[in-house]
Structure 1
Amino acid sequence: MTDFAELRTTMVDTQVRPSDVTKYTVIEALLEVPREAFVPTGQRAAAYADTCVSLDSGRVVLDARTFAKMLDALDIQNEELVLDIGTGLGYSSAVIACMAEAVIAVEDDESRASEAQTTLSEQGADNAIVHTGALAEGAAEHGPYDVILLQGGVEELPATILVQLKEGGRIGALFVEGALGVVRIGYKIDGQVNWSFAFNANAPVLPGFEKQRAFEL
């Protein structure tokens, strides 16, 4: 029988800690949340591998290193409201729920959203709510947000997302630029988001965040 608790500890010790993730709240949350409960049943054995976990429709659960480093850079506080875009089956929101006052998760697939909400409730993440709708629309009715986090790649970030970020808030996004992916943290100051480099990573682009290609004859 698979010892998922041991695998979870190994994931943190071999994938997360060596990647300069030092914040206690991030480490504690990753050790607490059972990643295997938030992936498709057939993928549970691979839940703690050092890679993204495939869902469907090209969607993934971000690898632990990338996700943890984003959380470390965003430094979520326990009084903050977080928007988690592309939660999939809810893993990212469960982890964030351990750190924030509340998290609003956005998922565009009704079946995934329903499963995510059920699993979050079963795991005791009562401060996480799953909103069903287009990922690129966010969830303005619950905002504005102290922190926004995207669970996948971005080529272009719609203004509809940035306006949901509070003044002084932070946003973490993985920008896919050709073969290279770059995670940047944005800080909203005087209504404008100023970006700073965090680290390199890669992930599939989220639906609605693709760059609009110009039509060519």
Structure 2
Amino acid sequence: MGAQISAETMLDRRLHMVNGQLRAGGVVDKPLLTAFLETPRQRFVAPEYESLAYLDRQLPARGAAKRKLMEPLTLARMLQAAMVVPGDRALDVGGGSGYCAALLDAVGAKVVMLESDFGAAAAARAELKRRANIVVVEGSLDLGAADRGPFDLIVVEGAFAISPDSLRALLADPGRLVGVDASGEPSQAVLYEKIGAALSRRTLFETAADTLDGFQPGVSFAF
């Protein structure tokens, strides 16, 4: 592990991330940009990666056996498309060590963070314990914390290689779900919007993400 980096240096790097990555990448939502500026990503990555926290890359989540945090720009563009507003009841699926949950809380959402990686969930619970509007739940991602729904917003922090029907069923009316569809090539960030009985799907941009457990395609056998 390298030498500890000062809080001032981390703030400078965070500011550079917001201006040099997010703004340059088309993120213009001011409350969202403020949330990224005020939320210290280095506290959510594995300790040995703290010095890399503000690069635009996936990094192992703190405490995790396998979960990674998404690239900041990818996450920011997804959240901007989802149009997070204060008071949203949000489900954060595959939330890792809690970075996205902290961002959602910073823009006024009430968050249920769902994680199947127990080490990451423990790290999230420790880091977020003073945030009254965040609840960390351990469980299967495809079940979606159904007993706590419905949700105005569902953020899938990763890819699904099969249709996320179990999560879409938890959407309130109206409701939005954003994530990465890896069922075809190339994989794409997508936004589902539910209004009444209608469910629309919009492609946002091409990107790549790890496919979350519970959303892998089934194994088939040929005889």
Per the normalisation by structure 1, the TM-score is 0.94
Name the CA distance, whole Å, in 2 between partners of 1:80 and 1:158: 20
Cα RMSD between the aligned structures? 1.5
1:141 and 2:144 correspond: no
Q: Which residue of 47, 50, 55 corresponds with 1:49?
A: 55
Moved over 6 A (4+): none
Q: Which residue of 192, 200, 205 corresponds with 2:206?
A: 200
For the residue of structure 2 that corresponds to 1:78, the secondary structure is: coil
Q: Which residue of 26, 30, 33 corresponds with 2:36?
A: 30
The aligned amino acid for 2:133 is N
For the residue of structure 1 that corresponds to 2:187, the secondary structure is: strand
* Alpha-carbon offset, residue 26 of structure 1: 0.7
1:67 and 2:71 correspond: no
Contact 2:146 2:170 in 1 (8 A): yes
Contact 2:67 2:117 in 1 (8 A): no
* Equivalent residue, structure 2, for 1:16: 22
* Equivalent residue, structure 2, for 1:93: 101
For the residue of structure 2 that corresponds to 1:129, the secondary structure is: strand
1:116 and 2:124 correspond: yes
* Equivalent residue, structure 2, for 1:103: 111
Name the CA distance, whole Å, in 2 between partners of 1:134 and 1:187: 23
Name the CA distance, whole Å, in 1 between partners of 2:158 and 2:21: 19
1:127 and 2:133 correspond: yes
Q: Deviations over 1:141-163 (max 9, x none)?
A: 11100000011111113322111
* Alpha-carbon offset, residue 58 of structure 1: 4.1
For the residue of structure 2 that corresponds to 1:213, the secondary structure is: coil
Name the CA distance, whole Å, in 2 between partners of 1:180 and 1:15: 23
**Which runs of no fewer than 5 residues in structure 2 stay unpaired?**
none
Per the normalisation by structure 2, the TM-score is 0.91
Contact 1:81 1:100 in 2 (8 A): no
* Alpha-carbon offset, residue 193 of structure 1: 2.4
For the residue of structure 1 that corresponds to 2:76, the secondary structure is: helix
